[in-house]
Amino acid sequence: MNSEPESRNNILLALREILPEKYLLTAKEDLKPYECDGMPAYQRIPIAVALPSTIEEVQKIIRACESQRIPVVARGAGTGLSGGALPHEGGIILGLSRFNTIIDIDHENMTMRVQPGVRNLAISEAAAPYGLYYAPDPSSQIACTIGGNVAENAGGVHCLKYGLTVHNILEVKIITVEGDLVTLGSMTLDTPGYDLLALMTGSEGMLGIIVEVVVKLLPRPLATNVLMASFDAVEDAANAVAIVISKGIIPAGLEMMDNLAIKAAEDFANAGYPVDAEAILLCELDGAEEHLAEQVNIVMVALGEANASNVVMANSEQEKAQLWAGRKAAFPAVGRISPDYYCMDGTIPRKRIAEVLVEIKALSEKYGLRVANVFHAGDGNLHPLILFDAGIDGELEKAEHFGGDILELCVKMGGTITGEHGVGFEKLDQMCVQFNPDELTHFHNIKHAFDPYELLNPGKVIPTLHRCAEVGAMHVHNGELPHADIPRF
Amino acid sequence: MALNITPSSIVDRDISIELQQQVQSSIDLRSPLLIRGGDSKLFYGRDPVETSNILELKNHTGIINYDPTELVVTVRAGTRLLDLELLLEKNQQILSFEPPMFNQQSTIGGVVAAGISGPRRAFSGSIRDAILGVEMINGDGKIVKFGGEVMKNVAGYDMSRLMVRSMGTLGVILNLSLRVMPKPEKEISLILDATQGEGLAYCKQWRTQHLPLSATSWYRGKLYLRLSGSDITIDAALKKLSQQMSFEFLEDDIFFWQSIRNQQHAFFNKVSKPLWRLSLPINTPVMARFEGDLLLEGGGTQRWVSNNAAEKIIRAVVGRHGGYATLFNGQKHLPGVAPFPILAPELHKLQKNLKRKLDPQNIFNPGRLYRDI
Ligand SMILES: Cc1cc2nc3c(=O)[nH]c(=O)nc-3n(C[C@H](O)[C@H](O)[C@H](O)COP(=O)(O)OP(=O)(O)OC[C@H]3O[C@@H](n4cnc5c(N)ncnc54)[C@H](O)[C@@H]3O)c2cc1C
Report the pLDDT value the prediction gives residue A486, as an integer from 0 to 100.
39
pLDDT, tens digit (0-9, with 9 covering 90-100), for A403-427: 999 999 999 999 999 999 999 999 9
- Rounded CA separation A226/A223 (Å): 11
Among the listed residues B119, B130, B142, the one whose alpha carbon sits nearest the alpha carbon of residue B75: B130
CB A230 within 8 A of CB A255: no
Helix (H, G, I), strand (E, B) or coil at A372: strand
CB B279 within 8 A of CB B319: no
Report the pLDDT value the prediction gives residue B307, as an integer from 0 to 100.
84
Report whether pLDDT(A488) > 60: no
**A201, A221, A431: residue with CB nearest B155:** A431
CA-based nearest distance A97→chain B, Å = 24
- Show the beta-strand stretches assigned E in A195-303: 209-216, 218-219, 223-231, 253-258, 279-287
pLDDT, tens digit (0-9, with 9 covering 90-100), for A49-98: 999 999 999 999 999 999 999 999 999 999 999 999 999 999 999 999 99
Report the pLDDT value the prediction gives residue B291, as an integer from 0 to 100.
73
- Rounded CA separation B207/A372 (Å): 42
Centre of ligand 1 from the C-alpha of residue A207, in Å? 16
Mean pLDDT of A417-444: 96
- Rounded CA separation B83/B62 (Å): 10
Report whether pLDDT(A477) > 50: no
Report the pLDDT value the prediction gives residue B352, as an integer from 0 to 100.
98
A331 ligand 1 Cβ < 6 A: yes
* Beta-carbon count within 10 A of B142 CB: 18
Residues linked to residue B303 through DSSP beta bridges, in sequence order? B278, B296
Report the pLDDT value the prediction gives residue B290, as an integer from 0 to 100.
79
Centre of ligand 1 from the C-alpha of residue A327, in Å? 20
CA-based nearest distance B314→chain A, Å = 16
Q: Please, how many CA atoms are within 13 Å of residue A218, restricted to the half-sphere of its CB?
A: 19
H/E element, A30: helix A28-31
pLDDT, tens digit (0-9, with 9 covering 90-100), for B131-159: 999 999 999 999 999 999 999 999 999 99
* Between residues B64 and B289, the one the model is more confident about: B64
Report whether pLDDT(B305) > 80: yes
Mean pLDDT of B15-37: 98
Centre of ligand 1 from the C-alpha of residue A124, in Å? 17
What percent of chain A shows pLDDT beyond 90? 90
Contact B155 A435 (CB under 8 A): yes
A46 ligand 1 Cβ < 6 A: no
Centre of ligand 1 from the C-alpha of residue B67, in Å? 33
Report whether pLDDT(A480) > 90: no
Among the listed residues B313, B327, B311, B320, the one whose alpha carbon sits nearest the alpha carbon of residue B278: B327
* Beta-carbon count within 10 A of B95 CB: 23
- Rounded CA separation B271/B293 (Å): 9
Report the pLDDT value the prediction gives residue A482, as an integer from 0 to 100.
41
| Residue to substitute in A99, A149, A152 for testing ligand 1 pocket (most ligand atoms within 8 angstroms of CB) | A152
Contact A222 B210 (CB under 8 A): yes
CB A343 within 8 A of CB A369: no
pLDDT, tens digit (0-9, with 9 covering 90-100), for A22-51: 999 999 999 999 999 999 889 999 999 999
CB B262 within 8 A of CB B100: yes
Report whether pLDDT(B119) > 50: yes
Ligand 1 atom nearest the C-alpha of A81 is 15
- Rounded CA separation B186/B91 (Å): 15
* C-alpha triplet A134, A140, A145: angle, nearest 5°: 60
| Residue to substitute in A118, A121, A140 for testing ligand 1 pocket (most ligand atoms within 8 angstroms of CB) | A140
Report the pLDDT value the prediction gives residue B335, as an integer from 0 to 100.
85
CA-based nearest distance B372→chain A, Å = 12
CA-based nearest distance A350→chain B, Å = 6
- Rounded CA separation A341/A332 (Å): 10
* Between residues A289 and B228, the one the model is more confident about: B228
Report whether pLDDT(B289) > 70: yes
Report the pLDDT value the prediction gives residue A473, as an integer from 0 to 100.
64
| ipTM of the complex, rounded to two decimals | 0.96
- Mean pLDDT computed over every residue of chain A: 93
- Rounded CA separation A434/B139 (Å): 21
Contact A192 B324 (CB under 8 A): yes
Sign of the alpha-carbon torsion through B161, B166, B171, B176: positive
Q: Say if residue B243 is exposed, middle or buried (CB neighbours under 10 Å; 0-12, 13-18, 19+).
A: exposed
**Cβ pairs A/B, distance under 8 A:** 251
